[in-house]
Amino acid sequence: MNKNGFIKDKKILFFTPYYQQNRGNSTTAKRIVNGLKCQGMNVVVFAYEEDTWNAKWDNHFQEAALYHVLHLKRFAQWFKRLPHLMLEKPYILTSGGTDINEDLKNPDAVTLMKSVADESCAITVFSENGQSKMIDAYPELTDRVYVIPQSVWLPESKEPAPINPVKGYPKLLLPAGLRPVKDVFFLLEELVKMRETWPELTFSILGAALDDDVLQEVKRLQAKYDWFYYLEEVALDQMFDVYDQFDVVLNTSISEGQPTSLLEAMYVGKPIMARKIPGNESIIKHRKTGLLFETATEFPLLLTDLLQKENLNEQLCQNAKQHVSLHHSVEQEIKQFLHVYHHCLAKKEENIY
């Protein structure tokens, strides 16, 4: 049986919390949906935190042969508000990262997510660490947890990024939505000290303002330091141009599923430095594809090493691009999802007939 041909005849309803706002979940959703459509799949997208459910969506829900859901906790919360809907078709759950790394620490969230996980056909996670956490929380679901690493998709744009190029050296970029889990001030004290040695150093945060307290502190620091920048949101198709303007790309999150920003920077050919957490370690091998730091005080020495050793910089970038090409291609990611789709639909057919 031709797997793709078997699936192409069927409608897929893709649920994502966000699709318009530029944040991690929307990037993941757009990449997967675009990849599926490129393979000829019939995909309809509903952003449950942005759109309003109505009779049109009731029809799509009934017509779909399979549902693909991004982010377990958010979807479970939303789905509870629509008691007339029943998940009677095969459905796949994909972890958004926060639901595994943060929400599983909350017993109420564990119970809530179990309400949708129990009857799912498959659960996909980005890394082996994510798989272990999911299985630890729901050991009875072990057989249906698949690891599908994220891929890199940076669509081309005819328009340059709408930001003024930041001047200085080194220019550090932290792509992160403004919310506590991203811990965007983690390196601040060390950066202030580093300005004594590197007086032209600049630090730029780029991402949606998702938490008002974090936003207000960012604005305060931007007013205090002339080397501290907040660049707000940029469309995905302009991110290649953004990465290209900076010298080093950072990640300081407390937890991550698997950061697409670092994968994108690796793809563009920029050196990356990141906090040593499982999500970052799933794509970074220290001093091979990037640099990892456990504490803020480790950062200055590593950055100085990177800036002063041209060979290190070149080797990291070369290895990183090769790693992305081998392990994080869109083609590989979509092939794995189609395999899971086929498994779930075939299983449904067997139960019916």
Say whether pLDDT at 194 is over 70. Answer: yes
pLDDT above 90 as % of the chain? 81
Q: What is the pLDDT of residues 313-342, one digit of tens each?
A: 999 999 999 999 999 999 999 999 999 999
Q: How far apart are CA 195 and CA 208, in angstroms?
A: 27
262 and 256 in contact (C-beta within 8 Å)? no
Least confident of 64-78, 96-110, 216-230: 96-110
pTM as predicted: 0.88
Q: What's the 3-state SS for 59-102?
A: HHHHHCCEEEEECHHHHHHHHCCCCCCCCCCCEEEECCCHHHHC
Quick check: 299 pLDDT over 70?
yes
Which helix (H) or strand (E) element contains residue 352?
helix 330-352
Check residue 350 and give its pLDDT. Answer: 66
Answer with the residue of higher pLDDT: 80 or 4. Answer: 80
Model confidence at 147, pLDDT cuts 50, 70, 90, reads: very high
Q: Which residue has the tokens 């910089």?
A: 313
Average pLDDT for 261-282 = 95
- For the segment 9-38, what is each residue's pLDDT rounded down to a tens digit? 789 999 999 998 878 889 999 999 999 999
Q: What angle do CA 3, 135, 342 make, to 5 degrees?
A: 5
- Yes or no: say if 97 and 24 are a contact pair by the CB < 8 Å rule: yes
Residues 167-178 have pLDDT tens digits of 899 999 999 999
Return d(Cα 179, Cα 210) in angstroms, integer. 6
Share the mean pLDDT of the chain: 92
Domains of the chain: 3-151+329-352 (3.40.50.2000), 171-327 (3.40.50.2000)
Start-end of H helices in 248-294: 260-268, 278-281
